[in-house]
Amino acid sequence: MTLKNQNTKRAVRKKPPATWLCLDFDTIEYGAALDLQHRLVAARKSKVLEMDILLVLEHPPVFTLGRRGGRENLRVSSDFLEKSGVQVIQVERGGNITYHGPGQLVAYCISDLNASRMGVENYVSHLEEVMLRIAIDWNVPAEKNDANRGIWVGRNKMGSIGIAIRRGITFHGLALNANLSLEPFYWINPCGLQNVGMTSIQQESAQSVSMSQVRQALKKHFAAVFGVNLAVTTVEEVTALVGIDK
């Protein structure tokens, strides 16, 4: 067999891209999204859910504390937060304290790393690459910083990553600042870091940023970076598929 024929044979045997489900919310309360993730992780582990799934959404204002973060990084009082209507929730993801709010695009990935044969380091790098490509779409010169995962513009952080893994199944994910108010970040030491700032695509690009366009960019780049197809689904279809209540 010639080398040309061998290459042709290998090409024919190439495995087609995996398909992920994609569930696109507008805004969902953090607690409801967390509960949904827990249910989907259990369904994915038991093989009731046979495909990985990407949740794309925004949250109402909330501070979350990761495994390495506590209230010591809050710079305002509990009374101030109560008057502001911002919750503080402890979660199992990695990382420290962060803020979620309208205008920040969040992507949660429920993915079986064992099935995809992807290591954790490579998985996190893929999430960073998705955000970097979105930044390029708006001509923002973002970059990685190995000292703190996510994407940065100089000393200002624009996108964060915090994941959890339960028996090989990932959940939580990335949060990209698109056009949100940055004021709540001044109420904390973001990611537990001092002397760093937070920024957004809108602030860095000096142009209006449409959340619908950022959502489309995220899905496009996610599919390309992870080498998968995204099949858009609905809450009703997912809940029926895995047998959970909405």
Mean pLDDT of 56-72: 87
Q: 109 or 74: which carries more pLDDT confidence?
A: 109
Please give the Cα distance from 149 to 174 (Å, whole number).
10
Q: Does some domain include residue 6?
A: no
Q: Does some domain include residue 107?
A: yes
User: What CATH number is attached to the domain comprising 217?
Assistant: 3.30.930.10
Q: Does some domain include residue 222?
A: yes
Provide the residue range defining the domain that includes 220. Answer: 18-242
Mean pLDDT of 178-187: 94
Q: Is the pLDDT of residue 232 over 90?
A: yes
Mean pLDDT of 207-234: 96
Q: Is the pLDDT of residue 67 over 90?
A: no
pLDDT recorded at residue 81? 86
Please give the Cα distance from 177 to 214 (Å, whole number).
10
Q: Does some domain include residue 154?
A: yes
Residues linked to residue 22 through DSSP beta bridges, in sequence order: 54, 232
pLDDT recorded at residue 210? 96
pLDDT recorded at residue 235? 87
Mean pLDDT of 32-53: 95
Mean pLDDT of 124-137: 98
**Count of the separate structural domains present in the chain:** 1
Structure tokens at 226: 């992870």
pLDDT recorded at residue 191? 74
Whole-number percent of the chain with pLDDT over 90: 67
Q: How confident is the model at residue 221 (pLDDT cuts 50, 70, 90)?
A: very high
pLDDT recorded at residue 4? 54
Burial environment of residue 117 by CB neighbours within 10 A (0 to 12, 13 to 18, 19 or more): exposed
Please give the Cα distance from 149 to 192 (Å, whole number).
13
Q: Does some domain include residue 3?
A: no
Q: Is the pLDDT of residue 13 over 70?
A: no
Q: List pLDDT tens digits, range 72-102.
A: 888 888 889 888 889 998 998 988 889 999 9
The answer to whether the beta carbons of residues 30 and 60 sit under 8 Å apart is yes
Q: List pLDDT tens digits, range 135-182.
A: 999 999 999 997 789 999 999 999 999 999 999 999 999 999 999 999
Residues classed as catalytic:
191
Whole-number percent of the chain with pLDDT over 70: 92
- The b/e string for 54-71 (b: 16+ C-beta within 10 A; e otherwise) is bbbbbbebbbbbbeebee
Q: Does some domain include residue 100?
A: yes
pLDDT recorded at residue 50? 93
Q: Does some domain include residue 11?
A: no
Q: Does some domain include residue 57?
A: yes
Q: How confident is the model at residue 220 (pLDDT cuts 50, 70, 90)?
A: very high
> CB-side exposure of 36: number of CA atoms within 13 Å?
21
